Amino acid sequence: MRALFTRLGRFVEARPGSILAATIVLVVLAVLGATQTHIVTTQEVFVNKDSDTYKNNQAYSAAFGGESLAVMITGTPQELTSPATLTKVKTLTDELSKDSDVRAIVSPLTILSAAAGQLPAGVTIDQPGVATSVIFGSDGKPTANFAALFPSDKELISITLNSGLSVDEQGKFSNRVQDDVAAVGLPSDTVVAGYPRLTYETTSTITRDLAVTGIVAVILMVIVLFVVFPVRRRLMALPVVLIGVLITFGITGALGVNLTLVTMAGLPVLLGLGMDFAIQFHNRYEEELARGDTPASGLIDALTHIGPAVGTAVLATILGFMTLSLSAVPAVRDFGSLLALGVAILFAAALIVLNALLYRFDKTPSESAEADADSAMATARPAHKRPRLDIGRYLASVSNVAIKLGPIVLIVSTLLALGGLYADHLVPVQTDIKKLIPADAPGLVAMTKVADATGSDTSVEFLVTADDVTSPSVFVWMVQFENQELASHPDIVSITSLPSVLGVKTIDASDTPAKLQAAAAQVPAPIMSGLVSSDKKSAAMTFKVKEMSISQLADLIDSIRAEANTPSGVTFAPAGTANMAASVVSAVTDRRLMIAIAGFAAVFIGLLIVYRSWRRALTPVVPIVLVTGWSSGVMWLLGMELNPLTAVMSALIVGIGTEFAVLLLERFWEELGRGLDPHAAMHNAVTRIGRAIAASGLTVMAGFAALLASSFPAIREFGVVTVIDVLLALVATIVVVPPLALYLIRRRGREQQVPTPTN
């Protein structure tokens, strides 16, 4: 392995100019690839396309249309039903109905037009007070036919879009509705709400968030580098890392990997990891120059010594991230692919591009002498003139104490991990897209206003299929089933279906098929199209439910489905956005343990292949297992929720935390190979590489901390958890790894002599 990195060092030393020129070409290509990136914020990114949930939703959309928008007008009953308001509503609906993206529009006029034929001779709907008397009863409340369209001194217009529209198409239409509402003169407080508006605005917010978190991450890293990494050209790594991140997103964009609420968190993660790799190479290069090497020999020696360590750590990191491919959530799998690819590219950028830059600046004779002098001052100051902040020495002192208290440290850390793993199942799960985005997002505020007026913003659609869903047997079953569910589930506010629209709550002898068919024929076409498909093979049942957690909603949906007891030849399946969110709950939680175990096993096997020693392979894995338990305990103590982002923490801990331990242990084995006893070797290892590990850890934390600037609650919470977990991984590296490594060394020493380095 050392021979490989020696050859790479010679390659970089011989061709720094060519490397930098090739990098410029790659950057141009990456920019072109990045422009192909698509941002997706719909619930579908969390659901497998081959799952029943996705297929049922597609079938429902094909039969009854896609997402819908609600226009909500505020006013008194007289104002809402005045000829002036109804004229404006007619103008709006007539204009919108011309749009080819619209499937159906239901407004008070839809029902009023059907009622017009029952008015006395000479009386028309557009006369003052007539619409009011038709819509509202003597008690001032809307009659049964109009109750859904007039909740709480509000008037609703429902617009159903065609299925298959893109987020951009839905967003542009929602913008048009808002413009038309203003153009026809409806009140300024009229609300336009729905998922088409929400997802479109969220997409725009993601773009802004990426820019903000990226800038904050860079600023924090600059601060960290100035505080804990006192070497020449300490900021040189930043442009190299940014290039690596750009190339990563360029490749994923060209490959069609979508940017989602999950993958957008990859930017600061990759920035932090890229700085981590760069710091290791930069630190070792300066260390070799401080020993008296020329830039050429220093470059080759640095890559020879640190290359295998960082390469092994990168291998462990990639293996940890690749286990996310086991997730049942597509967006999480994309996140794992993005991180694995990005880590490989950033490692190559630090190894080749950064070292080419460092050498290019130092390779002339005059610059070489200056480099030696500057490096000696920055990296190897004499004992009587130590730097003010010598992190390596502080960390060595901590590890010495941990070694002395070895058994206690290992026992306490294990007990804390077990307690955290027990608390893991107590952490709640959140997958509702409305809870993962900014609470002040205009689209979400609008949806909340509609929910306040109607009593709930959560509706679960169910798809009923049969040879003829209007047949008496299906109709009777629907009536009985609705009565049963309303009686047994207080959380169900209402059910909308063909029977409920017809006002049929019980079936008696007078309800003959002919009578029911005649009643159905009186239902306005826009309303009927949302209840029964044109071929009569599909029917919609919409359950409006009270506000509840996503886990409770998942349980309720399961109960409704289990209690359906459909007649022969009839199927009943949940569909819609709310159901997709509920289905993701199990997808987020079911495979977490499997992913964690797979991550530990993958890293252990990978290290075992590299080291050919189970002790050396096991030592970096044990503390990360402990950190995984600690992390769950911290989330429970802080009252955090699992979401599609925080649920991937085990893989991130494995990927990032293992690296710190590997780097420390590689330096430990190197010091052992120089003939030092284990205690002295560990002391030197922590002292000499502690600064670089601390700087690496802090830059990774800075990358994650940048997520706190995000406007998305899910992203901010992910940032908090990851900052804590990286800190815990650093603690485990300094406190747990040294006593564990020395214990295994003593055990091995009883069987054979201390091994020499294999890399």
* Whether 207 and 179 share a structural domain: no
**Helix (H) or strand (E) segment spanning residue 466:** none
Nearest Cα residue to 609 out of 378, 369, 311: 311
* Whether 79 and 30 share a structural domain: no
Rg (CA), the chain: 32
Please check whether residue 441 lies inside any domain of the structure. Answer: no
Q: Which of the listed residues 133, 168, 193 is the one where a domain comes to its end?
A: 193
pLDDT band for 368, please (50, 70, 90 cuts). Answer: very low
DSSP state of 192: E
- Residues 591, 579: Cα–Cα separation, whole Å: 20
- Does residue 244 contact residue 270 with C-beta atoms inside 8 Å? yes
Q: Which residue has the higher pLDDT, 754 or 249?
A: 249
Please check whether residue 444 lies inside any domain of the structure. Answer: no
* Whether 83 and 127 share a structural domain: yes
Nearest Cα residue to 497 out of 511, 512, 478, 515: 478
Domain that residue 88 falls in? 68-193
Q: Which two tokens mark 91?
A: 């103008």
SS3 160: strand
pLDDT band for 753, please (50, 70, 90 cuts). Answer: very low
Please check whether residue 156 lies inside any domain of the structure. Answer: yes
* Whether 248 and 396 share a structural domain: yes
Average pLDDT over residues 26-40: 80
Cα–Cα distances (Å) from 262 to 9, 151, 449, in that order, read: 37, 37, 28
% of the chain at pLDDT higher than 90: 22
* Whether 147 and 249 share a structural domain: no
Q: Which residue has the higher pLDDT, 13 or 72?
A: 72
Q: Which of the listed residues 541, 569, 597 is the one where a domain comes to its end?
A: 569
DSSP state of 465: E
- Residue 750, classified by CB atoms within 10 Å of its CB into exposed (0-12), middle (13-18) or buried (19+), is exposed
Q: pLDDT tens, 428-482?
A: 776 666 666 777 788 888 988 888 888 766 788 999 999 999 888 898 899 999 9
- Provide the mean pLDDT of the chain: 83
SS3 97: helix
* Whether 161 and 178 share a structural domain: yes
Strand blocks (E) in 51-140: 68-74, 102-106
Cα–Cα distances (Å) from 621 to 277, 402, 626, 628, 667, in that order, read: 20, 18, 9, 11, 17
- Does residue 263 contact residue 42 with C-beta atoms inside 8 Å? no
Please check whether residue 329 lies inside any domain of the structure. Answer: yes
Q: What is the pLDDT of residue 385?
A: 43
Q: HSE of 703 in the Cβ direction (CA atoms, 13 Å)?
A: 26
- Residues 139, 155: Cα–Cα separation, whole Å: 18
* Whether 327 and 209 share a structural domain: yes
- First-last CA distance in the chain: 5
Cα–Cα distances (Å) from 411 to 133, 200, 405, in that order, read: 78, 51, 10
Q: pLDDT tens, 335-356?
A: 888 889 999 999 999 999 999 9
Q: Which two tokens mark 564?
A: 């359906």
Domain at 289, CATH number = 1.20.1640.10
- Residues 181, 190: Cα–Cα separation, whole Å: 8
Alpha helices, H only, 424-506: 433-436, 442-454, 472-488, 498-502
pLDDT band for 286, please (50, 70, 90 cuts). Answer: confident
For residue 738, pLDDT over 50 is answered with: yes
Please check whether residue 576 lies inside any domain of the structure. Answer: no
For residue 505, pLDDT over 70 is answered with: yes
Q: pLDDT tens, 111-130?
A: 887 766 666 667 777 788 88
pLDDT band for 102, please (50, 70, 90 cuts). Answer: very high
Average pLDDT over residues 295-308: 88
**Helix (H) or strand (E) segment spanning residue 23:** helix 16-34
Question: At CA 343, angle to CA 12 and CA 325, rounded to 5?
Answer: 145
Q: What is the pLDDT of residue 486?
A: 93
| Count of residues in the chain | 759
Quote the number of domains for the chain. Answer: 3
The region of weakest confidence among 66-80, 338-352, 684-698 is: 684-698
Q: What is the pLDDT of residue 364?
A: 59
For residue 588, pLDDT over 90 is answered with: no
The region of weakest confidence among 90-94, 230-234, 356-360, 725-729 is: 230-234
- Does residue 193 contact residue 447 with C-beta atoms inside 8 Å? yes
**Helix (H) or strand (E) segment spanning residue 572:** strand 571-575
% of the chain at pLDDT higher than 70: 89
The region of weakest confidence among 302-311, 498-507, 749-758 is: 749-758
Q: What is the pLDDT of residue 252?
A: 85
- Residues 296, 10: Cα–Cα separation, whole Å: 8
For residue 15, pLDDT over 60 is answered with: yes
Average pLDDT over residues 417-430: 83
- Residues 739, 243: Cα–Cα separation, whole Å: 39
Amino acid residing at 150:
F
Q: What is the pLDDT of residue 572?
A: 94
Please check whether residue 81 lies inside any domain of the structure. Answer: yes
* Whether 256 and 208 share a structural domain: yes
**How distant is the alpha carbon of residue 196 from its chain centre?**
20
Please check whether residue 152 lies inside any domain of the structure. Answer: yes
* Whether 678 and 734 share a structural domain: yes
Question: At CA 472, angle to CA 494 and CA 506, rounded to 5?
Answer: 45
Domain at 148, CATH number = 3.30.70
Q: What is the pLDDT of residue 206?
A: 73
In three state form, how does the secondary structure of 642-654 look? ECCCHHHHHHHHH
* Whether 681 and 730 share a structural domain: yes
- Residues 317, 651: Cα–Cα separation, whole Å: 9
Q: Which of the listed residues 193, 218, 251 is the one where a domain comes to its end?
A: 193
The region of weakest confidence among 1-5, 247-251, 388-392 is: 388-392
- What is the value of pTM for the model shown? 0.71
Nearest Cα residue to 606 out of 594, 618, 595: 618
* Whether 625 and 644 share a structural domain: yes
* Whether 502 and 524 share a structural domain: yes
- Residues 207, 516: Cα–Cα separation, whole Å: 52
Please check whether residue 607 lies inside any domain of the structure. Answer: yes
- Residues 321, 311: Cα–Cα separation, whole Å: 15
- Residues 380, 383: Cα–Cα separation, whole Å: 9
